[in-house]
Amino acid sequence: MEENAYDIEVHTEVKKLEFMAGGGKFKLPVCIKNRSSRDLIDAEATYLSYHVYSLDGGKDEWDQKRYSINICKGEEKTVAIESTAPEKKGSYIFKLDIVKEGSEWYSDSGVKFPHIAVKVCDDGSALMSDLYEQIEAQKLEEEHWKHILHSGEYDFFHPYCKVDPYGRSPLTAVLLFHTTVEMSVSIHVPGKTKMACVDAVFSDYTLDHMIPVYGLYADKTNVVKMQGCDRDGNIVENQIEIITQKITHGFEDISLLAYAEDENLLAPGFNFCYTGLEEKGMKMAYDVNGDIRWYFTDTSFEVPANYVSSSSIWMSRQVLDALNAVESFVLELNYMGRIQSVYYLPYGIHHDIQFTLRNTMLILGSRKDVKYDKLVEVDLETGNIINVIDYKKMLQRTRNVSVVYSNADWLHANSVIEHDEDFIVSGNTQSTIVKHNRNGQIKWMLADPVGYGLYWKRFLLKPVGRNFEYPYNQHAVEVLPNTKGNRDIVDILLFDNGYSRNKCRGWDEKNHPSYSRMVHYQIDEKKMTVRQVWEYGKERPELFSKWRGDADLQNNGNVIGVFNVRQETKIDGKNYTEHCVAVEVNKSKKVLWECYGFSMTGRNSYQNYRIERRDIYDAKESNILLDYEVKIRLGNITEQAE
């Protein structure tokens, strides 16, 4: 045997691997220095491999896949191990090794190899495997873009253009090109009217440009204008023709008929909504004219109703455990459909996600056989669940004042927002809005007193002023800016569905027709009083919405809301028809814009859950970062959820 036959050094920077679920793919770079007298090559049947040791009493797996090394004597090389995690939840050790096939393992001859600590947080599932595959496919696509960007073939006047870059967002594109001098870039997507135009400025001066294009029209050759400016102020201009396909995935069955008296009076932006067609939830954005300018096609995602970030959307993938409790993977994606971050949540997700000033995420969810009565706070950096509020321990679960009450869905928490480090939560079935601290201590409650016991009545706000009405089965509570500077005053805006108003008050429908409203309340936390400041909708009973709905204050003072109208009917053997009406009004209740949404199918059912008027680009937009790794935050998901 040669004197230095085993003088091999094997090293990897990776010390640990963590997986949300078994079967997840990984790539492990391994550096090998061959100072031995042997060639470590395929011709000698010599390969890199690894062994798997279970730390939880499971079966150890010695033999794994072989990887070609092909390192001659005196050479150094980095080899990539590409494989999958163990299928079962548990803790493991991966130990690297070199094998001379049919002859020996180098570790048996004293060669030292690195150990990698491995944690698999849950048993493998097809859902997680698919997610890892999508992230890997995303990486490969972006590696291809890097090659294109550095090929020298594409410049400002001849950019590379790909429509629907990640296969989820058909009305977006990416432009890739290189410039010989550093430039900032701006783009303009022409619209049918002034308010329908899209503009974005990428102010960073750079040589490599990766420009996202949003807001294209469907089934059209969009002529996008692009302007470049160098540091000396020299300007170049170009026009790019971007061809899009017809709208698909059911969005083509939506009819949006819009009316605007004067565009100049409207809040700017597109109407981003969580839309429901034939009971299928989808996300899209349409302009002031009712033209769809962005939509998301991946049907494997569940869709939180709200939009919490101006530069990304948040989705979830729901799975059921043995107890029928919903679990979720919560994902952040940009408007092109790129997966940006992944979180695990063993409580599922109901309607909304909100962010706090503590860099945490608030999610309403469920556990076991009771639905929608948990508030979960997740640390955005670690993914750890740092707080869980169980409303069964706080509110009067047996209070039954709602038309839609059930034992399993006694609260139906449907929106949450942080205020002064406390939480304001809307409970739809209880027609109650409650503010409480992070320890679950109630600060106040806005609700009709009917049915509440003495314990809770002490927290109920006292109405003051004229024309006050309580909300019933409300949605979408938001805190308005504090314009008075008085920290005791809290202004909130919400959508009051009014569905249970007559039941709660003991009224009959004949003498008290149902109606829905957008309502502004002002709360004095010190005096424990509530005043109704403004409302819209009571004067239009034809807009009565049994469920869903929204109300949003705009920067120009207008309020935008969405009413979902269900009309009971026996026509064609169906039980009802549904349409939605989005409306923008000023504080004088004058209608400035209105859009009717209908289904084009025989089912005749179309609704919007939420609507948010916002720009599709950030105020300060950035180039796409091709080296930005997907942020996977597993947190403490091995802990048993309640």
**Which pLDDT score, from 0 to 100, does residue 278 have?**
59
pLDDT for the residue numbered 483: 76
The predicted pLDDT at position 43 comes to 79
- Contact (CB, 8 A) for 537 and 518: yes
Kindly indicate the confidence band of residue 128, based on its pLDDT and cuts at 50, 70 and 90. Answer: low
* Segment 173-230, tens digit of pLDDT: 999 999 999 999 999 999 999 999 999 999 999 999 999 999 999 999 999 999 999 9
Q: For 600-623, write each residue's pLDDT tens digit.
A: 887 788 888 889 999 999 877 787
Q: In the numeric block, which tokens belong to residue 288?
A: 């002031």
Q: Evaluate if residue 579 carries a pLDDT over 60.
A: yes
pLDDT tens by residue, 13-44: 999 888 766 777 788 999 999 999 888 888 78
pLDDT of residue 279: 53
- Determine the average pLDDT of the residues in 395-422: 93
Mean of the pLDDT values across residues 453-459? 97
Does the pLDDT value for residue 485 go beyond 70?
Answer: yes
pLDDT of 2: 61
Give bridge partners of residue 251 from the DSSP assignment.
none
Structure tokens at 306: 């709200």
pLDDT of the residue at 629? 85
> If you search the block for the tokens 């009051």, which residue do you land on?
496
Cα maximum dimension of the chain:
102
Has residue 639 got a pLDDT over 50?
no
Mean pLDDT score of the chain:
89
Structure tokens at 576: 């009802």
Higher-confidence residue of 496 and 574: namely 496
Is 634 a residue whose pLDDT tops 60?
A: yes
d(CA 355, CA 357): 7
Per-residue pLDDT band at 405 (split at 50, 70, 90) = confident
DSSP 135: H
Choose among 551, 616, 612, 608: nearest CA to 254: 608
Is pLDDT of 402 > 70? yes
Of 310-324, 367-381, 615-629, highest mean pLDDT: 367-381
Cβ proximity of 584 and 267 under 8 Å = yes
d(CA 276, CA 72): 62
CB 286 within 8 A of CB 596: no
Q: What percent of the chain has pLDDT over 90?
A: 63
pLDDT at 597 over 90: yes
Mean pLDDT of 95-103: 90
Rounded to whole angstroms, the Cα distance separating 498 from 514 reads: 7
Place of tokens 């092909």: 70
Q: Does residue 531 surpass a pLDDT of 70?
A: yes
Rounded distance, CA 55 to CA 73, Å? Answer: 36
pLDDT of residue 631: 87
Phi/psi for 106 (5° steps) reads -65, -25
pLDDT in tens, 319-336: 655 444 566 788 899 999
Task: Answer whether residue 638 shows pLDDT above 50.
Answer: no
Mean pLDDT of 570-576: 62
Instruction: Check whether 370 has a pLDDT greater than 60.
Output: yes
d(CA 277, CA 280): 5
Is residue 583 a contact partner of residue 567, using CB atoms and an 8 Å limit? no
pLDDT value at 411 more than 50: yes
Distances (CA, A) of 561 to 102, 242, 288, 355: 72, 33, 14, 22
The predicted structure's pLDDT at residue 640: 41
The predicted pLDDT at position 542 comes to: 94
Q: What is the DSSP string of 459-506?
A: TBPEEESSS-----S-EEEEEPP--S--TTEEEEEEEE--TTHHHHHT
